[in-house]
Amino acid sequence: MASLTHRRIVIAGGGTSGWMTAAALGRFLDESWQVTLVESDEIGTIGVGEATIPMVRNFNAGLGIDEAAFMAATQGSYKLGIAFEGWGGFDESYMHGFGLVGRGLGLIPFHHYWLRARAEGLAGPLGDYVLNAVAGYAGRFAHVQRAEGSPLPPLPYAYHFDATLYARFLRQFAQGRGVVRREGRIVEVRRDPHSGDVSALTLADGSEVAGDLFVDCSGFRSLLLGEALGVGYVDWSEWLRCDRAVAVPCAKVDPLVPYTRSIAQRAGWRWRIPLQHRTGNGHVFCSAEMSEDEATAILLGGLDGEALADPRAIAFKAGRRETFWERNVVAIGLASGFIEPLESTSIHLVQTAISRLLDFLPSGPVADADRDSFNRLAVFEIERIRDFVILHYAANGRVGEPFWDRLRTMDLPEPLAQRIAVFRATGRIVREHDELFDVPGWVQVMIGQGIVPERWHPLADQASSADLKGFMDTLAASYLRDAERMPTHADHIARFCPAGELHA
Ligand code: FAD
């Protein structure tokens, strides 16, 4: 049975997930623990994870990282949400903004009032009542403080950043807190002949890195969990059919928008992520429907500025490992599974896996019950995120394109099918346990992509039409005013966290 008697933790891989893990362990474990990270410059990292969701701020804050310093070091920009263009229909777009839809209104969520107001012709599009969407489309950003008890929402935000620079930033942080970095290619994963646990990693120069607990951050190959321990892969490509991406950075353009753009294409979608020094671009596509050459041509044809590198192709398969913790190996990041970056959830999954690892850190032998709980929580979390991402495909409005037509009629995972049916019939979203996406996220995507409920909550009938209209108009006007008072995104960055010149 695995035991952490010597408190030696070995992290295999130094991509975003490896260095995030190393930084957190370095920050929270004292010197009785020995944390070593092995990475290979020969192999490199994926390094295109550039868009995040608001919880990443908790991760940085937990490490004690100063936001302005982090933003400057990673060429970061702010993100208020994701604009989905061409998903609900060829010419339609909506924003999935972070934070509230509308504002707190007593017993029932705002969108029930909006549904009634919309049906009576008293309200504009849902996005007019989402502060993040209003500020986002206006190109504005500020750190909004609200007085305690204010019914108005704050302006929740996340970051766009250069993932390679983030890993470098965290590497410095982790090494400053006792984490030892070993450069070298892992050529063998050694296992204890009696227990079957992983005992050491053998590097190409013949040296060994021994440990008690191993964190597999080796990327898609899943060197320890998948290859050495033979943990299988649960394939989700029946729902998530995209399996390739081409990525290329281009020169930045003005204005610097405070949101990610996701632009639907014939057999996938393109992303556009604004950073201070450049724009990140990619085209996620289904290789059964489109060749890499065509996907690359579409990507390059849609750039805003001059390409700054050769396009890079990445193959992937949507899914997860059957278990995330097996014997004395915990997989974090791409080694544990992958959902395409449509809702920017991968780095978040890295972060929650790290918290879970810290929660379940054994003080002696690893209990099977602990491992089972860890795996159950991890599976629940990633499957609900999977469903949210599938929703974007299932509810598309791109009639006449074979890739999208098939997706509208596919069989869905049961929890998602049920959620859509309940929302269609009642306007209700029931959030289960602490699944990542909350009511406002589901509502924005469902309505943004054309799933409009047949009814709303009966309490929404209790206001008069005049009161309802007054409320809707006042709220939309106050969000517009709020946004107008904010500086432009570019001005805020110039004042708060300018990156300056990038030195390699
Ligand atoms: P990798 O980056 O692949 O790192 C693996 C590490 O293991 C490397 O250091 C490598 O050198 C090391 N390694 C591997 N084999 C060996 C060996 N034999 N010996 C020694 N070392 C070895 N996430 C987001 O949150 N937002 C996004 O916008 C986003 N966009 C994405 C777009 C695409 C197209 C893809 C594919 C992913 C995207 N992601 C995004 C996911 C994100 O990039 C990853 O979750 C994140 O980079 C973590 O990757 P990783 O560290 O697990 O793996």
- pLDDT value at residue 242: 98
- State mean pLDDT over 454-474: 97
Average confidence score pLDDT of the chain = 95
Query: From the CA of 474, how far away is ligand 1's center (Å)?
Result: 46
Nearest to 428 by CA among 439, 444, 413: 439
Tell me: pLDDT of 105 over 90. no
Query: From the CA of 333, how far away is ligand 1's center (Å)?
Result: 7
Instruction: Output the residue whose Cα is nearest ligand 1's atom 33.
Output: 48
In angstroms, rounded to a whole number, what is the distance separating the alpha carbons of residues 324 and 211?
18
* Model pLDDT for residues 231-248, shown as the tens digit of each residue: 999 999 999 999 999 999
- pLDDT value at residue 503: 44
- Largest CA-CA distance found in the chain, in angstroms, rounded: 78
* Catalytic status, residue 79: yes
Tell me: pLDDT of 487 over 80. yes
Q: Which atom of ligand 1 is nearest to the CA of 14?
A: 9
Ligand 1 binding pocket mutation candidate from 10, 20, 48 (most atoms within 8 A of CB): 48
268 lines ligand 1 (CB under 6 A): no
316 lines ligand 1 (CB under 6 A): yes
- pLDDT value at residue 381: 98
Q: Residue ranges per domain, the chain?
A: 7-50+162-237+318-366, 99-110+123-155+467-497, 244-315
* Model pLDDT for residues 149-192, shown as the tens digit of each residue: 777 778 999 999 999 999 999 999 999 999 999 999 999 999 99
- pLDDT value at residue 139: 98
* Cα dihedral sign, 193-196-198-199: negative
3-state DSSP of 400-447: CCHHHHHHHCCCCCHHHHHHHHHHHHHCCCCCCCCCCCCHHHHHHHHH
Query: From the CA of 184, how far away is ligand 1's center (Å)?
Result: 17
Tell me: pLDDT of 504 over 80. no
Helix, coil or strand: residue 154: coil
Query: From the CA of 347, how far away is ligand 1's center (Å)?
Result: 10
Q: Which atom of ligand 1 is nearest to the CA of 201?
A: 19
Residue 501 confidence class, pLDDT cut points 50, 70, 90: low
215 lines ligand 1 (CB under 6 A): no
Report cis status (omega within 30 of 0) of the bond before 487: no
Q: Which of 144 and 359 is assigned the larger pLDDT?
A: 359
Query: From the CA of 18, how far away is ligand 1's center (Å)?
Result: 9
46 lines ligand 1 (CB under 6 A): yes
- State mean pLDDT over 85-106: 93
Q: Which atom of ligand 1 is nearest to the CA of 218?
A: 7
Residue 2 confidence class, pLDDT cut points 50, 70, 90: low
Does the structural domain 7-50+162-237+318-366 have CATH classification 3.50.50.60?
yes
Q: Where are the beta strands (DSSP E) in 251-405?
A: 260-265, 268-274, 279-285, 312-315, 319-321, 325-326, 329-331, 337-338
Ligand 1 binding pocket mutation candidate from 45, 203, 317 (most atoms within 8 A of CB): 45
299 lines ligand 1 (CB under 6 A): no
- pLDDT value at residue 144: 87
Tell me the percentage of the chain whose pLDDT exceeds 70.
Answer: 99
- pLDDT value at residue 149: 74
**Phi, psi (deg, nearest 5) at residue 362:** -75, 150
333 lines ligand 1 (CB under 6 A): yes
Q: Are strands 319-321 and 268-274 parallel, antiparallel or unpaired?
A: unpaired
Tell me the percentage of the chain whose pLDDT exceeds 90.
Answer: 92
Single pTM value for the model: 0.97
DSSP class of 307: B
Residue in 79, 252, 317, 469 annotated catalytic: 79
Classify domain 244-315 at the CATH topology level: Alpha-Beta Plaits (3.30.70)
Ligand 1 binding pocket mutation candidate from 334, 338, 345 (most atoms within 8 A of CB): 334
Q: Which of 4 and 319 is assigned the larger pLDDT?
A: 319
Q: Which atom of ligand 1 is nearest to the CA of 43?
A: 11
Please give the structure tokens belonging to residue 19.
């260095």
Residue 44 confidence class, pLDDT cut points 50, 70, 90: confident
Tell me: pLDDT of 491 over 80. yes
Angle formed at CA 465 by CA 463 and CA 468, multiple of 5 degrees: 65
Residues, the chain, total? 504
186 lines ligand 1 (CB under 6 A): yes
- State mean pLDDT over 33-58: 92
- State mean pLDDT over 225-230: 98
Query: From the CA of 46, how far away is ligand 1's center (Å)?
Result: 4
